[in-house]
């Protein structure tokens, strides 16, 4: 195949672009299907916790409900407010949706199953997760309406409040794994829980950081109980108040895509990624991608569980949790982890 491309008019460059495009589609298309089904799962989980049936009419067991909803919003008219900034108004949902997709480029689904196995994968994911909030900010400002604008201000505050603590959480993971590469981080988790098991935790020393990261991920994606950017009791619908049709749907797809990305990051950074839950040879016969998807669904279930049971935080509670609890605790834990690793390197505990 390589020789053919070299001798043809396509050349190496076009062949590489074509191969990369195919790999991108192999990730993006299943991801879009997963987002549709995870919306269905989300609604089913909420219904079960409220003792309701949830979607059950469209398709067997209601499995086609998400696709019916997508067709409905596609057929609706796109309305742009006359006083809105038209360009930014249309760019905002596209930005949110795009950021939710490009983060998966460096996420390893299994051994060697990654689109871009770069050495700075951790920094790439941190940058991508930080960009997600800009779609909300742009949408709030471009709508030229007070409620979306208030939502944009809240989104900016949430980003600043929780990105700092998330950064310190990631520092502890980098210190322990001694690498920014996500595949290396997963490999470093093997055999490091109590020296025997490689599952149910990256390491007991980092378990508190995994809890902080999961809660901060809920705040980063504006999920309940941190959904202050779309608090319907005070902001109508927040940043998406003025949106309709597919632009509204892109926000939904972007939100759930970001939620899945955060669930995947939690599994990769702290819970072994594609590794089986325990170090037992027969479990390795199960493909690593299956273990990875199981862990993603477990964390998504936690996201849905929290949304169905925990009331929305007040704004002052949101700020206090980020600045007065998570930030100092994560900073102290960075010192503890670095101190522990220095002691081990000098051979005191060996």
pTM above 0.85, yes or no: yes
User: In the numeric block, which tokens belong to residue 140?
Assistant: 């709030």
Per-residue model confidence as pLDDT tens digits over 96-127: 888 888 889 899 998 888 888 888 889 898 88
pLDDT at 202: 54
Better pLDDT: 116 or 216? 216
**Residue 226 in contact with residue 255, Cβ under 8 Å?**
no
pLDDT greater than 90 at residue 299: yes
Kindly state the average pLDDT of the residues 190-209.
62
pLDDT at 192: 56
pLDDT at 13: 67
Percent of the chain exceeding pLDDT 70 equals 90
> Which of 264, 226, 223 has the alpha carbon at shortest distance from 46?
223
User: In the numeric block, which tokens belong to residue 109?
Assistant: 């689904």
Domain coordinates of the chain in residue numbers?
77-345
Three-state SS string over the chain comes to CHHHHHHCCCHHHHHHHHHHHHHHHHHHHHHHHHHHHHHHHHHHHHHHHCCCCCCCCCCHHHCCHHHHHHHHHHHCCCCCCCCCCHHHHHHHHHHHHHHHHHHHHHCCCECCECCCCCCCHHHHHHHHHHHHHHHHHHHHHHCCCHHHHHHHHHHHHHHHHHHHHHHHHHHHHHHHHCCCCHHHHHHHCCCCECCCECCCCCCHHHHHHHHHHHHHHHHHCCCCCCCHHHCHHHHCCHHHCCCCHHHHHHHHHHHHHHHHHHHHHHHHHHCCCCCCCCCCHHHHHCCHHHHHHHHHHHHHHHHHHHHHHCCCCCHHHHHHHHHHHHHHHHHHHHHHHHHHHHHHHCCCCC
pLDDT at 17: 79
Kindly report which listed range (3-7, 41-45, 148-152, 158-162) carries the lowest average pLDDT score: 3-7
pLDDT greater than 80 at residue 60: yes
pLDDT greater than 70 at residue 11: no
> Which of 291, 275, 223, 262 has the alpha carbon at shortest distance from 107?
262
pLDDT at 297: 93
pLDDT at 263: 94
Measured CA to CA, the distance from residue 233 to residue 29 in angstroms comes to 35
Average pLDDT, the chain: 84
> Which of 100, 95, 98 has the alpha carbon at shortest distance from 38?
100
pLDDT at 348: 54
Kindly report which listed range (1-5, 14-18, 151-155, 207-211) carries the lowest average pLDDT score: 1-5
pLDDT at 272: 85
pLDDT at 7: 46
Neighbours of 302 (CB within 10 A): 14
Give the best-scoring range by mean pLDDT among 16-30, 93-107, 187-201: 93-107
**Residue 198 in contact with residue 272, Cβ under 8 Å?**
yes
Per-residue model confidence as pLDDT tens digits over 225-267: 888 877 766 777 778 888 888 888 888 888 898 899 999 999 9
pLDDT at 135: 83
pLDDT greater than 80 at residue 223: yes
């Amino acid at each position: 195949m390589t020789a053919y491309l070299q001798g043809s008019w396509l050349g190496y460059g076009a062949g590489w672009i074509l191969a990369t495009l195919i790999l991108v589609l192999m990730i993006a298309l299943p991801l879009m299907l997963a987002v549709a089904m995870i919306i269905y799962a989300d609604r089913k989980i909420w219904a079960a916790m409220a003792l309701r049936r949830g979607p059950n009419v469209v398709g067997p067991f209601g499995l086609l409900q998400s696709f019916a909803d997508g067709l409905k919003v596609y057929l609706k008219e796109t309305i742009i407010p006359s006083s809105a900034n038209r360009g930014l108004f249309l760019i905002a949902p596209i930005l949110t949706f795009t950021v939710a997709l490009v983060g998966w480029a460096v996420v390893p689904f299994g051994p060697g199953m990654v689109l871009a196995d770069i050495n700075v994968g951790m920094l790439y994911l941190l940058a991508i997760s930080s960009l997600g909030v800009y779609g909300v900010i742009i949408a709030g400002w471009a709508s030229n309406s007070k409620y979306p604008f208030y939502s944009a201000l809240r989104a900016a505050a949430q980003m600043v409040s929780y990105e700092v603590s998330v950064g310190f959480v990631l520092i502890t993971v980098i210190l322990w794994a001694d690498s920014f590469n996500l595949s290396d981080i997963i490999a470093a988790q093997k055999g490091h829980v109590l020296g025997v098991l490689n599952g149910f935790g990256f390491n007991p020393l980092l378990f508190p950081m995994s809890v902080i990261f999961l809660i901060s991920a809920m705040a980063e994606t504006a999920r309940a109980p941190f959904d202050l950017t779309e608090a319907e009791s005070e902001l109508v619908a927040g940043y998406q108040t003025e949106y309709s049709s597919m632009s509204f749907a892109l926000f939904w797809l972007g939100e759930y895509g970001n939620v899945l990305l955060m669930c995947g990051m939690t599994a990769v950074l702290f819970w072994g990624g594609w590794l089986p839950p325990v170090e037992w040879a027969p479990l390795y016969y199960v493909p690593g991608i299956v273990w990875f998807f199981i862990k993603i669904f477990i964390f998504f279930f936690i996201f849905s569980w929290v949304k169905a049971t925990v009331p929305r935080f007040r704004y002052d509670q949101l700020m206090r949790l980020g600045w007065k609890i998570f930030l100092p605790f994560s900073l102290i834990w960075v010192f503890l982890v670095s101190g522990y690793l220095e002691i081990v390197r000098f051979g005191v505990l060996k």
